[in-house]
């Protein structure tokens, strides 16, 4: 069923903001994101590392936290003001959404909650400011990520997730549906005017499939792949380089030492004007996933990072995607 975006949501979301990961070797993960991916280390403590993209002025867009078990901790979105945090509290209390106000280093008012399908989310209204490094070209290494852009979450209930977030003002820019129906298999939703801030795809969930940073150009993707190979992480290239049909993005996916997945990408388009209608992709159309190149591997389709103490549910919709192993005849 096609969702309806709420034009007057109870609070104002502005963009994808930050993601927090539990990692088992903090130093190894720091080195990976700094040296293989190219993020900037803003600050390190005994138990956490804060990183950001080169053009970001917010203190962090990625937080690594030392832990005994690797997990996806929180997916973060920004709201416009402190008043939006208060409005979100009131809305969640009225609608029965589990939530709590928390204190987080370098963040303003912060609210944590579970969405309708169990995704562990965090809203914040502000962050400490740090200098942008977008013109420190001498510090552009590996993929030279510029800023965080979006997240993809695997969910057992794409329709339920989509209805929840469009009810909070997100607009669906693209979607996949069963041929000849409006049965949603994947939805790409945005609030900041490009193709996606938050994506939900069908599968065992809730789990974080990946988080994504923009890079300057296609050459940066190739350089990131070269650096990964040179530093011994070539086998952690999970998919690509390639081009998605959905969003038109050139992409490269890599796995960190704990197997959390990060995407580097470029060339997606604007989705701003209210008369725009979402682009539909039939689930049978392989061009939705790649306009050129081979299919993704089984691990790209089926592996993702779980949230702490959150049960993983079997999907309401069932399918067997065509994988690289199928293409190569490997069983």
> pLDDT (tens digit, 9 = 90+) per residue, 86-107?
999 999 999 999 999 999 999 9
The pLDDT of residue 59 = 98
Element (H, E) at 220: helix 218-230
Q: In this structure, what token pair is assigned to residue 317?
A: 């919709």
Percent of the chain with pLDDT over 90: 86
Which pLDDT belongs to residue 327? 64
Residue carrying the six token digits 């963009």: 15
Task: Indicate the residue among 96, 129, 162 that finishes a domain.
Answer: 129
Q: Where are the alpha helices (DSSP H) in 8-154?
A: 26-31, 82-95
Strand order in the sheet with 99-102: 40-44, 48-52, 62-66, 13-23, 71-79, 120-124, 110-114, 99-102
Same domain for 302 and 215, yes or no, is yes
- pLDDT score for 300: 83
Q: How confident is the model at residue 307 (pLDDT cuts 50, 70, 90)?
A: very high
Sign of the four-CA dihedral 242, 201, 194, 33: negative
Q: Same domain for 178 and 290?
A: yes
Same domain, 118 and 166: no
The pLDDT value recorded for residue 313 is 97
323 found inside a domain: no
Q: Does residue 14 have a pLDDT over 90?
A: yes
| H or E element, residue 122 | strand 120-124
Pair 168, 231 in one domain: yes
Averaged pLDDT, 11-20:
98
Taking residues 228-248, what's their average pLDDT? Answer: 95
Whether the pLDDT of residue 329 is over 90: the answer is no
* Rounded mean pLDDT, 115-135: 98
Amino acid 131: pLDDT: 98
- Is 124 in the same domain as 149? no
pLDDT for 289: 82
Last residue of a domain, one of 67, 102, 129: 129
The answer to whether 86 and 10 are in contact (CB under 8 A) is no
Are residue 147 and residue 204 in the same domain, yes or no?
yes
Eight-class DSSP state of 33: I
Domain contains 279? yes
- Asked if residue 243 lies in contact with residue 253, where contact means CB atoms within 8 angstroms, the answer is no
User: Has residue 331 got a pLDDT over 70?
Assistant: no
The reported pLDDT for the residue numbered 21 is 98
pLDDT given for residue 125 in this prediction? 98
What pLDDT, on a 0 to 100 scale, did the predictor assign at position 320? Answer: 72
Residue 92 pLDDT: 98
Size of the chain in residues: 331
> Does residue 5 sit within a domain?
no
Query: The domain that contains 162 carries what CATH number?
Result: 3.10.180.10
User: pLDDT tens digits, residue range 160-176?
Assistant: 999 999 999 999 999 99
Q: Are residues 313 and 174 in the same domain?
A: yes
Find the domain containing 40 and state its range: 13-129
Residues 93 and 178 in one domain: no
Do 116 and 256 share a domain, yes or no?
no
- Predicted local distance difference test score (pLDDT) of residue 284: 85
Q: Is residue 326 part of a domain?
A: no
In 3D space, the residue among 89, 91, 95, 94 whose CA is nearest the CA of residue 109 turns out to be 89
Query: Is the predicted pLDDT of residue 180 greater than 90, yes or no?
Result: no
Tokens representing 104 are 């987080």
Question: Is a pLDDT exceeding 90 seen at residue 205?
Answer: yes
Are the C-beta atoms of 64 and 259 separated by less than 8 Å?
Answer: no
Q: Is residue 204 assigned to a domain?
A: yes
**Residues 259, 111 within the same domain:** no
The answer to whether residue 328 sits within a structural domain is no
Assess if residue 25 is contained within a domain. yes
Is 7 contained in some domain?
no
Q: What separation, in Å, do the N-terminal and C-terminal C-alpha atoms of the chain show?
A: 36
Mean pLDDT of the chain: 95
123 and 152 fall within a common domain? no
Question: Residue 294: pLDDT band by 50, 70, 90 thresholds?
Answer: confident
Q: Over 90: is that where the pLDDT of 129 sits?
A: yes
Q: How many domains does the chain have?
A: 2
Same domain? For 68 and 169 the reply is no
Which range is least confidently modeled, 24-33, 97-106, 253-262, 293-302?
Answer: 293-302
Q: What is the pLDDT of residue 324?
A: 66
Partner residues linked to 251 by β-bridges: 242, 265
Residue pair 178/276 in contact (Cβ under 8 Å)? The answer is: no
């Amino acid at each position: 069923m096609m969702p309806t975006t709420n034009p007057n949501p109870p609070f104002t979301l502005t963009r994808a903001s930050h993601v927090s990961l539990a990692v088992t070797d903090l130093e190894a993960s720091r080195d990976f994101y700094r040296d293989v991916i190219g993020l900037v280390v803003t600050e390190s403590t005994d138990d956490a590392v804060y990183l950001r993209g080169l053009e970001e002025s917010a203190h962090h867009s990625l937080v690594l936290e030392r832990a005994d078990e690797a997990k996806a901790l929180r997916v973060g979105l920004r709201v416009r003001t402190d008043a939006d945090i208060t409005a979100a509290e009131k809305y969640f209390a009225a609608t029965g959404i589990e939530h709590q106000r928390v204190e987080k280093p370098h963040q303003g008012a912060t609210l944590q909650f579970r969405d309708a399908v169990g995704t562990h989310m965090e809203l914040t209204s502000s962050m400490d400011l740090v200098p942008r490094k977008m013109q420190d070209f001498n510090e552009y290494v590996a993929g030279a990520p510029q800023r965080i852009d979006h997240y993809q979450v695997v969910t057992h209930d794409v329709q339920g997730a989509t209805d929840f977030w469009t009810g909070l003002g997100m607009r669906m820019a693209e979607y996949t549906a069963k041929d000849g129906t409006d049965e949603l298999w994947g939805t790409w939703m945005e609030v900041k005017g490009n193709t996606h801030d938050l994506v939900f795809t069908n599968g065992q969930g809730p789990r974080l499939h990946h988080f994504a940073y923009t890079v300057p150009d296609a050459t940066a993707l190739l350089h990131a792949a070269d650096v990964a190979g040179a530093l011994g992480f070539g086998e952690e290239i999970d998919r690509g380089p390639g081009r998605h049909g959905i969003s038109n993005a050139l992409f490269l996916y890599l796995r960190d030492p704990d197997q959390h997945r990060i995407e580097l990408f470029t060339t997606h388009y604007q989705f701003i004007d209210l008369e725009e209608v979402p682009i539909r992709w039939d689930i049978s159309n392989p061009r939705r996933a790649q306009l050129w190149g081979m299919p993704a591997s089984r691990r790209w389709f089926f592996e993702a990072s779980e949230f702490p103490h959150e049960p993983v549910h079997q999907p309401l919709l069932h399918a067997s995607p065509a994988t690289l192993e199928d293409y190569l005849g490997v069983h």
